[in-house]
Amino acid sequence: MTRIVIVGAGIMGLATAWALVRRGERPLVLERFGRGHTHGASHGATRNFNNAYADAHYLDLLQRARDGWDALGEVGGEPLLRRHGLVTHGVGGDLGGGADDADGLETIARSLGARGIPAEMLSAVEAGARWPGMRFETDVLYSSDAGVARASAAMLELERRVQGGGGEVRWGAPVAGIEDLGERGARVRLASGGEVDADVVVATAGAWTEGLLPGIRLPRLTVTEETPAHFASTTGPWPSFNHRLDPARYPAPVYGMPTPGEGVKVGFHRVGDVVDPDARPHRVTHHETLVEYVREWMPGLDPESAVHLSCTYTSTDDSAFVLDRVGSVVVGSGFSGHGFKFAPGVGATLADLALDATARAAAPFRLPAG
């Protein structure tokens, strides 16, 4: 019997495998698609390392993730976490930090400062002088300890470390289902017809989670196709950014970050069409509105240069993650478009749950009772 099997080799599955390898385990990771695939939520060059959170459970997870990113260190002579800073501005609209009122930025600044995370408030004039490619109308929260995670490079480095530590990653190994066997462990049914029994199975299958876990009560998981775009830059420098907007004019808050060689990524948060992950239409949504936003708020970008990309969000209704265990099955899901930066912390948490049946994640991350 295999001790620990992980189903899904996206960022969360690989981060979990790495956390287990660091503790002396040799997990088996099964992934239905090939290395570098674009069917899920972990591909692409960059992800926002946004630390603008006020809630303690997210900040706890963020600090654990930060330790993990530091431990991963450099790849190709450059850190996997580029700390060029993050600016958050605007009023209204929840960005996942637990503070969406007019005083939210000050609340987040105090929460970060209490943990020793750099955070300062700037006036709109000060921010505009520092980042002339952006326009500001309100005070701005700036943290120098945020920036961009190098997504695709991180995936390759995590796989390298997993395999170097004795773990195994099998690409092109689709799974048909996961069954909790109680005291006898758990069983993975392969699409090829075979089975793999394990002491513990960790499900980090993203948009395919519900179909693989029919025996576990999950929160509602909504899969959407999101289509942000890269825009060509005409000036700089560029931080990462969050912008809370008037919902009467724009469909959602905006996030973005520089992606070297591709431009500046700009996107609305969680506005895409609900889709079947096995039949994604790859249809761009909100193109005109996104161009309008860039034209109004990003004078340092060419609004006519949009190159869209596609990924999926798998979201819970309240955007809280699922990090929990039922019997011999551990579930990591519902990362709701803001999970990537937390990956080393999520992986360490899921490893805790895999190795200790009595371990529990923070209350907001637990599965529904009953």
Question: Residue 222 is inside which H or E element, if any?
Answer: strand 222-226
3-class secondary structure, 63: helix
Residue-wise pLDDT for 209-264, tens only, equals: 999 999 899 999 999 999 999 999 999 999 999 999 999 999 999 999 999 999 99
Mean pLDDT confidence for 277-294 = 97
Confidence of residue 98 (pLDDT cuts 50, 70, 90): very low
Confidence of residue 99 (pLDDT cuts 50, 70, 90): very low
pTM above 0.75, yes or no: yes
Give yes or no for residue 322 having a pLDDT over 90.
Answer: yes
Residue-wise pLDDT for 115-164, tens only, equals: 999 999 999 999 999 999 999 999 999 999 999 999 999 999 999 999 99
Residue-wise pLDDT for 336-362, tens only, equals: 999 999 999 999 999 999 999 999 999
Give yes or no for residue 73 having a pLDDT over 70.
Answer: yes
Give me the chain's average pLDDT, please: 95
3-class secondary structure, 181: coil
- The whole-angstrom separation of Cα 304 and Cα 287 is 11
Half-sphere exposure of 338 (CA within 13 A, CB side): 24
The answer to whether the CB of 312 falls within 8 A of the CB of 207 is yes
Res 93: pLDDT: 57
Mean pLDDT confidence for 320-328 = 97
Half-sphere exposure of 111 (CA within 13 A, CB side): 22
Mean pLDDT confidence for 66-80 = 96
- The whole-angstrom separation of Cα 310 and Cα 319 is 20
- The whole-angstrom separation of Cα 203 and Cα 35 is 18
Omega before residue 237 within 30° of 0, cis: yes
